[in-house]
Structure formats: C-alpha cells, structure tokens
Chain A
Amino acid sequence: MFRAQVIIKRKPSILDPQGKAVEKGAQHLGLTNIKNTRIGKYIEFDVISNNREEAEKEVNEYCSKLLSNPIMEDYQFNLIDLNSYDNK
C-alpha cells in the first residue's frame, strides 16, 4: 500500500486574492519580511497497490481529472511505500 501526499497550487500566473488577504494579516502582526503568500491545498490518501508505477498512474489520474483543475492549478505528489515503512 502507498500513501499519497498531494499538493495543489494555483498556477503562478493566477492571482491569489486569499493569499494576499492573509498576507495583510502578517503585516498587522508586524511580520514585514513575509512576501508572496499563496494558498494551496494538501490532500492525503492511500492507494491499495503494491506496484509503484501502477499507483502513480492512478494518483495522476485522480489529480488531473478531479483533485485539480489544469486550467488554474498545478499538482505535485509524494508516494510513500507503507509496506516497507512497516518493516523497518
């Protein structure tokens, strides 16, 4: 079994008003060095498979068809092999 850790970010060309609003909060806190705040999503799930290649294929499909919208978002993911993790 694999654990997938997916990060979805808005494409750099797309404005992130939420990130901008949150950054204003940083300024109110006096954190003047904080710049370029952008808010994305973190999604975690398991893939029941012992084959990394097959698991990657399925995660890619999940990410591109449902979890992200390729017009405005990019995704990246990590796949952790839970079986080998248990053996350690």
Chain B
Amino acid sequence: MKPKFGIVVFPGSNCDHDAYYVIKKIMNCEAEFLWHKNSDLKNCDVIILPGGFSYGDYLRTGAIARFSPIMESVIKFAEDGGIVIGICNGFQILLEAGLLPGVMLQNISLKFICKDVYLSVENCNTIFTNGIPSEKKSLKIPIAHGEGNYFATEEILKELINNNQIVFKYCGPDGDLSEDFNPNGSMMNIAGIINKRGNVLGMMPHPERACDPILRKTDGQFIFRSVISNLIKNN
C-alpha cells in the first residue's frame, strides 16, 4: 500500500511544492494537490496544510483560509479521525479553524526568523513521532515565520500538558530545554502540538525542508516516515 497525501493549495501557499516533492520523490508515496476552492479530498489518507502566506496573512494568519471550501472537508475529515498535518501557516490555519487550541502571536522580537532550530520530541507515542529513533536527542529542522509565538490560556495549557498534546519543543542540540533556545517567545517553548484524539498535528518548523539528503539535513523524514509506517501497519 502506498499512502496518498493531499496537499492543500491556498492563494499564497508557498511550501506546497516542497511538500509535494518530498512526499513523492523522497518518501515514495502518492501526492496530489488539492485546490482550496474544491471540497473533494480525493480519497487521500493524509492531508497536509502547507506553509506560506495564505490570503496574504490579512487580518490574522490563517483567519481567511479557514473559511475556504476545502477546509469544511478537512474539518470533517479530521473529526472522522483522518490524519492532518499543518506546517507553519498550516498550523496557524488549524488554530483558526479550531482543530487545535490556542493562537499564534507575533514573534517576540518582531522579526521574521528563518533558521535551523532543534526540536525535542516530548511525546514519542503519536502517529507522527513513534518512528523517531529513541537515541535521537533532537531533530534539526528549520523554522521560517513571523508569527510563531504560541499562546494559550492557562486552562488550555493545562489540558495540553495533561493530555500529552505537546509534541515538539524548541531545545538545544542535545535536547536541553531552556528559554535560550526559544526563538519566538512561544509559551513553554512549544513548537508543535496535536489534538486530543492524536490525529491532527500542527508544527511551526518545516519538516519538508529537512528531508532531501542533498540539503544535508534529513530529520524531517522521521515525521513523514512515522505517519507512513503507521498507515501501512493499519491497512
């Protein structure tokens, strides 16, 4: 079985081709673009909301994309247990759509930050992370965003902790957690979270930019490979 990934294209998406390329050429799976005005998910096993600046980031990041026709289908797909991955702007859209809790504020520095960061895997029992080798102290994956400063109310934060929904945190190369490694002011160094059910992942770093060996960083593959092997195992 070759899992099929659907990559949603919004006006202003700009990481859609990277995601398509990685899924098809590096991970050897099926990939298909899904135009935001359509509502057919074309029997995809996984939906990726890619990075970019959907609708020019007008109003708030992800606020308008959330009302695209395709999002109604994505929300239903997620509620039925379908696997959804939101990367960067895709994460912001998932927050606006209410598929994940919280909100993204401007980076505390007010700067757009584009650099490699290290992520500690805080929950290795998810379909997105259970293929990451346990000896890995951190994943090296780049970020590229102006609004990645994760904020949630105290109640939401408590819930995230109690349900083990925090999946990735910004850390040092050896996995050490401290405010020094927090690039954007994000609460508790949060870089990625899942929903309670565990089928929706939102993350600010770009795993699709750390897959092709020609770029000399491939840690992003672990995330896609986890999803793919879980899908194959369950079919």
A82 located at the interface, meaning its Cβ lies under 8 Å from any Cβ of chain B in the complex? no
A71 touches B110 (CB 8 A): no
Residues of A within 8 A of B59 (CB): 66-67
**Interface contact A17-B151, CB-CB below 8 Å:** no
Known contacts A14-B151, A17-B110, A18-B110, A69 near B63 by CB under 8 Å: yes
CB of A65, distance to nearest CB on chain B (Å): 9
Q: Convert B71-111 into 0s and 1s, putting 1 for each residue whose CB lies closer than 8 angstroms to a CB of A.
A: 00000000000000000000000001000001101111110
Q: Which residues of B contact A31 (CB under 8 A)?
A: none
- B114 CB–A CB distance under 8 Å: no
> Separation in Å of the A15 CB from the closest CB of chain B?
7
User: Which B residues lie within 8 Å of A69 (CB)?
Assistant: 60, 63, 96, 103
Interface string of A6-49 (1 = CB under 8 A from B): 00000000110110010000000000000000000000000000
Partner of B108, one of A17, A66, A67, A72: A17
Whole-angstrom CA separation of A17 from B60 in the bound complex: 16
Number of interface residues of A (CB under 8 A): 10
Q: Residue B153 at the A interface, CB < 8 A? A: yes
- Known: A66-B63, A69-B63. Is A18-B151 also a contact (CB below 8 A)? no
- Of the listed residues B59, B106, B110, the one surrounded by the most CB atoms of chain A closer than 10 A to its CB is B59
CB contact list, A53-79 vs B, under 8 A: 66-67, 69, 71-72
Select one of A21, A66, A67, A71 contacting B103, CB under 8 A: A71
Contact: B151 with A72, CB < 8 Å? yes
Chain B proximity of A33: nearest CB distance (Å)? 24
B67 at the interface (CB under 8 A from A): yes
Q: Contact check, B63 vs A71: say whether CB atoms are below 8 A apart.
A: no
Q: Which of B129-144 contact A (CB under 8 A)?
A: none
Bound complex: CA A69 to CA B66 (Å): 12
User: Complex Cα distance A18/B146, Å?
Assistant: 12
Is B152 on the interface with A (CB-CB < 8 A)? Answer: yes
Do B151 and A66 touch (CB < 8 A)? Answer: no
Q: Do A18 and B106 touch (CB < 8 A)?
A: yes
- Contact across chains for A14 and B63 when beta carbons are under 8 A apart: no
Q: A14 to B106, Cβ gap below 8 A? A: no
Contact (Cβ within 8 A) B102 A71: yes
The answer to whether A71 touches B153, judged by C-beta atoms less than 8 angstroms apart, is yes
Q: Is the CB of A14 within 8 A of B60?
A: no
The one of B106, B108, B151 that contacts A71, using a Cβ cutoff of 8 Å: B151
**Complexed CA–CA distance, A18 and B108 (Å):** 9
Question: Which chain A residues lie closer than 8 Å to B151 at the CB level?
Answer: 14, 71-72
Q: Which residues of B contact A67 (CB under 8 A)?
A: 59
**Judging by beta carbons under 8 Å apart, are B152 and A71 in contact?**
yes
Contacts beyond the supplied A17-B110, A71-B103: 8 A-B pairs with Cβ under 8 Å: A15-B105, A21-B110, A69-B60, A69-B96, A71-B151, A71-B152, A72-B103, A72-B151
Chain A residues in the interface with B (C-beta under 8 A)? 14-15, 17-18, 21, 66-67, 69, 71-72
* B interface residues with partner A (beta carbon < 8 Å): 59-60, 63-64, 67, 96, 102-103, 105-110, 151-153
